[in-house]
Structure 1
Amino acid sequence: MQFGILSGRRAAALAGILALSVSSLAACGGDDSSAATTSDGLTKLTLLRSTGGTFEAIYIAQEQGFFKDAGLDVTIKAGAADTSQNVPSVLKGEAQLAMTDIGGLVKAGAEGLDVKAVAQIQASSDDIAQSDGLLVAKNSSISSPADLEGKKVGLPVLGGNLQMVAMYSVEEAGGDPSKVDWVALPTDSLQDAVNKGQVDAISTFATFYTTAVADGLKPIDKGGQELLGDPQSLIFADSGWLDDNADVAQEFVDAFSKGVDYANKNPDAVRAVDTKYTEMDADTIANRDISPFDYSFDTEAVDTAAANFYKYGITDNDVKGTDLLWSDAPTD
C-alpha cells in the first residue's frame, strides 16, 4: 500500500519537471556521445558535484593524479542544490557524470529517465557517531518518531533520501508516516524553525545535525543508521553515454575508487578539500567525524531504499533499485 504524502503545487511541480524531462530529454541520451579529448590525448569529462558535501573523494582522485593516470581530464563543477535536478543536465550532455543520492536516482528511474549509477560515494554506516536524523527541541515532549503523527516536520528537500529514512523511522516506531506533515525549509533555517516552534521536529544531516545536537536539540531516531548501506551519495551517467563509452566509464570508476581508498586512509586530505570547497568553519573541519567513503553498492540496501520510496508514495511507479545500477558498477 502506498502512503499519499506529496500533494498540491509541490507535487505538481515535481511531476511537471520530470514529465518535461521524459518528453524532451529522453531522446538526448547517447546523442553526441563520443568522448572529447584534450590536445594531450586525455578524455574530457565533466562531473556535477553536490553543493553540500560528500564530494571529497572526487577531488582527491583529481589532486592525486588518479584521473590523469587513467587518461582522463575531469572537470568538477557545482551542480544543483537539489541533486535530483542534475539529471536533465546529464541527459542533455552538459555533463557526463553527476552526483545525487538514492532518492534522486530512484525518482529518475520511476519516471522512465534512462540514467544509471556508476559508483557509490558514501552509504549510511555505524562506523562513526550518528550524523543525521530526526531532532526535536530540548524541551519537547516528543520522544519517539511515532509521536510525530499529526505534527509538522521540517526537511531540506521534500521527496529526498532524508524524508524516506524519516518515514521509515516513524513506521518502525509504530507510527503512520502518512499522518506527518512534511515541509521543506532552507537547510540553514531548520534549527531555528524547531526552536521557535514553527515545526515540531526536523530531519537534517552532516554538520547541521552535529551543530544542532551540540546546541541542545534531542535525537529521537538513529537516522541513516536505521537503514545501513543506504546510498547517501552516488555518481550516475546517461545510459546511452555508458553504452558508447563503457571503457571510459570503467577508467573513471577505477580512478575514483583509488581516490576513495586514499581518502579513507588520509583524513587530512579530506579536511583540506573541505577547507577549499565548503563553507564549514575551520573548527568544524578540524573536529568533525568523517564518514567512510565506499564506492561499492550494497545491492540489498539499494533495493530496500527503492521499495521504500514507492511504499511511502514518494514515487508513483515501483522500480527495482538494482535495475538502476550500471552493469559494471561495483557491488558488494
Structure 2
Amino acid sequence: MTHYRNCGAIVVAAALALTSCSSNDTGSDSPPEAGSDSDHDLETTELSIGSLGLADEVPLYIAIDEGFFDDEGLSVEAHTAPGGGAALTAALMSGETQFAYTAYVSIFLASAQGLPIRVARENDGAGPQGIYAAAGSGITTPSDLAGRSIAVNSLSNFQEVTARAALDHAGVDSTTVEFVEIPPPEMQAAVETGNVDAAWLPEPFLTIATGDGTLTEILPVFTGPIEDLPVAGWATTESFAAENPLTTAAFVRAIDRAIEFAYDNPERRDEIIADYSGMDLSLVQELEPPNLIADPTRDLAPVVDLMVNYGLLDTEINANDVLLDEASA
C-alpha cells in the first residue's frame, strides 16, 4: 500500500527551495512496461521519499494515488522536509529516505563536497518564474534593477545564480545587485513594504501576486543562455542504487508512467496537486503546469557551466558523474 501525508499548505513551505514550471516537454517515447522487475525479488519494497510538496513533484503523488508504485511491488511514503533542500540531502545521506526531489544546483554542490548523491531520474525543467517588483514602484524594465535588492530563497544557490544569469543577459551588471534571503511566502510582503525592491517568485506566489495586481514582472528568469536549463530530479545515494538496482529501476519506471499520466490527464493532475498541497483547486488550475521531462536528455552540463561561471563551483566537474547510470558504470 502506498500513501502520503497531507501537510496542509505545503506548497507555500516547499517553495523555500524550488519552483513550479511551465512549457510542456511531452516527449514521444512510451515508458517501460510496468512491473518488469516487481515479480523478481526486489531488494527492498519499503521506500521513504523526500519531498518539498511542490507542484513539480506531482509525478511522485500521481504514482502513489494511481497505484503505479503498487504495480511495481513498492510501498511508498512521501515525507516533506520543512528545512528544504538541505534537509532532503541530510535525510538521503542518513538513510532516512531512499529518494528525494532535489535541485541540480544542490546536487552538484553536495557532489563537490564529496557526498555520493546521484540522479536516478530527471523530473522538471525551466518554467515561468521571474523577478517581480511592486506596481507603481518606478521599476519597469530590467535596467531599473541595477543597484537594487532582490529577494531569493537561499543565497549562493539556485535562485541567486539564475537571477544573476538573467540580469547579465539583459545587460544589467548582476554584481551591482544585492540579494537578500527571504522565504518565498514572505517575498510579496517584503516587496510591498519596501524591505526589498524586487523578488524572484516561483509558483504559486507569482500567480497570487500578479492576480491581484500587486506585483508586476520585470524580467523572466529563464531566458537567453538558461532558457532550457534543467532544474531538478529524483536523487538517491550511490550506495543505495548499487545495493538495490531492481528497486531503483522499479521506482524510475513508476515515475516514468506518472509523468506520461500527468500530460494525458491534466484535470486529474491538478486534483492531485490540490490534494497534497492543500491549495484550492481553483488556484491550482491557474498555475502554469509543471514542465515535466517525459524524455530525459541526460545533459546536465549547462547547470555546471552556470555554477562555475558564477563562482558556486571552483572548478569544472563532469556533469555525468552525478548521473546514476554513468556513475555506476
Verify same fold: TM over 0.5: yes
More off after superposition, 275-284 vs 141-150: 141-150
Question: Does the Cα contact within 8 Å between 1:146 and 1:171 map onto a contact in 2?
Answer: no
* Offset at residue 112 of structure 1 (A): 1.6
Q: 2:169 aligns with which of 148, 167, 172?
A: 172
Q: 1:154 aligns with which of 151, 156, 159?
A: 151
* Offset at residue 165 of structure 1 (A): 1.4
Q: In structure 1, give the amino acid aligned to 2:94.
A: K
Question: Does the Cα contact within 8 Å between 1:116 and 1:326 map onto a contact in 2?
Answer: yes
* Offset at residue 168 of structure 1 (A): 0.5
Q: Which residue does the alignment assign to 2:202?
A: 205
Per the alignment, in what secondary structure is the counterpart of residue 209 of structure 1?
helix
Distance 2:169 2:44 in 1: 50
Q: Which residue does the alignment assign to 2:211?
A: 214
Distance 1:185 1:320 in 2: 32
Q: In structure 2, give the amino acid aligned to 1:327.
A: D
After TM superposition, the structure 1 = structure 2 runs for residues 1-332 of structure 1, keeping only pairs within 5 Å, are 43-125=45-127, 130=128, 132-216=129-213, 217-226=215-224, 227-300=226-299, 302-327=300-325
The unaligned stretches of length 5 or more in structure 1 are: 1-39
Question: Does the Cα contact within 8 Å between 1:82 and 1:157 map onto a contact in 2?
Answer: no
Per the alignment, in what secondary structure is the counterpart of residue 77 of structure 2?
strand
Distance 2:298 2:326 in 1: 13
Question: Does the Cα contact within 8 Å between 1:109 and 1:319 map onto a contact in 2?
Answer: no
* Offset at residue 146 of structure 1 (A): 4.2
Distance 2:92 2:148 in 1: 38
1:146–1:110 Cα change, 3 Å: farther
Q: Which structure has the higher relative contact order (CA within 8 Å, separation 6+)?
A: 2
> How many residues are treated as equivalent by the alignment?
285
The unaligned stretches of length 5 or more in structure 2 are: 1-41
Per the alignment, in what secondary structure is the counterpart of residue 56 of structure 2?
coil
Structure 1 runs (4+) greater than 6 angstroms displaced: none
Deviations 1:114-145 (A, max 9, x none): 111111221115xxxx3x11111112333443
* Offset at residue 103 of structure 1 (A): 1.8
Distance 1:272 1:154 in 2: 31
Question: Does the Cα contact within 8 Å between 2:56 and 2:291 map onto a contact in 1?
Answer: no
Q: In structure 2, give the amino acid aligned to 1:279.
A: G
> TM-score under structure 1 normalisation?
0.79
Distance 1:314 1:149 in 2: 22
More off after superposition, 166-175 vs 287-296: 287-296
Deviations 1:136-174 (A, max 9, x none): 111233344344332111112223322221111111112
1:122–1:44 Cα change, 3 Å: same
1:42–1:249 Cα change, 3 Å: closer
1:315–1:280 Cα change, 3 Å: farther
By percentage of residues, which structure has more helix?
Answer: 1
Q: CA RMSD in A?
A: 2.4
Distance 1:328 1:247 in 2: 17
> TM-score under structure 2 normalisation?
0.79
Q: In structure 1, give the amino acid aligned to 2:309.
A: K
